[in-house]
């Protein structure tokens, strides 16, 4: 499974590449440790086409995308999986250039759980993962909605967890999984945009479907979705088991103490991200009444195992 994402065979950015009948991909020139080889922008259909995840606000990428279409083709819908800066900012310029509406679950706050809304009200801000705070779709899509896009019937699946407004899009056994499921990394879950309780529910939702192939927004296609979902769920469960073992004595502890106990090999620069991840698990455990936070649920609380 790892070899499919070998860096030595990374495809180049800016080249419109057919993947399957009705599915093309063009990679944005934004490679990084967070985006792998860059954002995959997908083009669905032929003639009248839908674009999934236009990518970062880069005019070079927009030119490559539009000039990569066949003569006479036009973009009729712009679908956005979620409003991180590597996915949604080119949507507005592309809409202005083509007249196509931007379709997404909602703005950058849409879909947040009550727990996350409460944490935001108490001062928790996003962790610097690059939120497109001004994102506003023209059309809001709800869970299970069938979109007539690019001449195709595409099913929208609300998959919050990496981001509250995250949608996946399904068509003929292929699912465009955005950042929810990727082949080269587990998904980042950083509160308040990231919500582990929602993430696990979204994983269960996708795992219950018998889809043929996943096309993530970064990296290569996943040709065995069932195996990848099983791995992703087990990966999170093993992190949770590590946390619960550390909390087993029932003594109160903090996010930073837990992070230092669990992430012993992590370079200092990555500790803040690891703390966000530990906090994501603790929020989920508090929601499930396995852990309590004192005096209240926030990043600097004391956490104690009760279940």
Cα gap 209→126, rounded to integer Å:
31
Q: How far is the CB of 84 from Zn ion (least distance, A)?
A: 3
Q: How many residues bind Zn ion (CB under 5 A)?
A: 2
Region near Zn ion per CB under 5 A, out of 31-39, 64-72, 177-185, 192-200: 177-185
Tell me the residue number closest to Zn ion, measured at CB.
84
166 is a site residue for Zn ion (CB under 5 A): no
Q: How far is the CB of 179 from Zn ion (least distance, A)?
A: 4
Sequence-distant (6+) residues with CB within 8 A of 129 are: 34, 84, 188, 190, 193
CA distance 101 to 95: 6
Residue 244's nearest CA partner among 297, 161, 306 is 306
Please identify, among the stretches 33-41, 81-89, 195-203, 280-288, the one whose residues bind Zn ion according to the rule CB under 5 A: 81-89
Residue 187 beta carbon to Zn ion: minimum distance, rounded to whole angstroms: 8
Is residue 179 near Zn ion by the rule CB under 5 A? yes
Least distance in Å: CB of 34 to Zn ion?
Answer: 8
Complex with Zn ion: residue 84 or 276, whichever CB lies closer? 84
By CB under 5 A, residue 228 contacts Zn ion = no
- What angle in degrees, to the nearest 10, is found between the helix axes of 271-287 and 255-262? 110
By CB under 5 A, is residue 84 in contact with Zn ion? yes
**Cis-peptide into 295, omega within 30 deg:** yes
- Closest to 55 in 3D by CA, of 110, 21, 13, 22: 13
Q: Which residues bind Zn ion (CB under 5 A)?
A: 84, 179
């Amino acid at each position: 499974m790892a070899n499919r994402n070998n860096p030595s065979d990374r495809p180049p950015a800016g080249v419109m590449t057919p993947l399957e009948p009705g599915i093309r991909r063009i990679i944005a020139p934004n490679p990084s440790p967070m985006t792998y080889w860059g954002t995959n922008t997908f083009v669905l259909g032929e003639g009248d086409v839908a674009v999934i995840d236009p990518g970062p606000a880069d005019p070079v990428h927009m030119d490559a995308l539009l000039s990569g279409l066949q003569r006479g083709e036009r973009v009729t819908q712009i679908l956005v999986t979620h409003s991180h800066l590597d996915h949604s900012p080119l949507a507005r310029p592309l809409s202005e250039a083509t007249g196509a509406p931007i379709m997404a679950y909602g703005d950058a706050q849409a879909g947040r759980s009550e727990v996350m809304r409460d944490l935001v009200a108490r001062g928790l801000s996003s962790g610097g993962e690059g939120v497109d705070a001004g994102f506003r779709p023209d059309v809001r899509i709800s869970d299970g909605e069938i979109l007539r896009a690019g001449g195709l019937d595409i099913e929208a699946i609300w998959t919050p967890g990496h981001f509250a407004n995250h949608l996946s899009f399904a068509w003929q056994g292929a699912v465009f999984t955005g950042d929810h499921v990727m082949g080269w990394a587990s998904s980042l879950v950083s509160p308040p945009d990231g919500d582990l309780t929602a993430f696990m529910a979204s994983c269960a939702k996708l795992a219950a479907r018998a889809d043929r192939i996943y096309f993530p927004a970064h990296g290569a296609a996943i040709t065995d979705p069932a195996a990848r979902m099983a791995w992703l769920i087990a990966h999170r469960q093993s992190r949770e088991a590590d946390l619960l073992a550390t909390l087993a004595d029932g003594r109160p502890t903090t996010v930073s103490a837990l992070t230092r106990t669990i992430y012993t090999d992590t370079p200092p620069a990555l500790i803040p991200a690891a703390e966000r991840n530990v906090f994501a698990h603790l929020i989920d455990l508090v929601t499930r009444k396995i852990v309590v936070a004192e005096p209240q649920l926030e990043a600097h609380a004391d956490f104690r195992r009760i279940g």
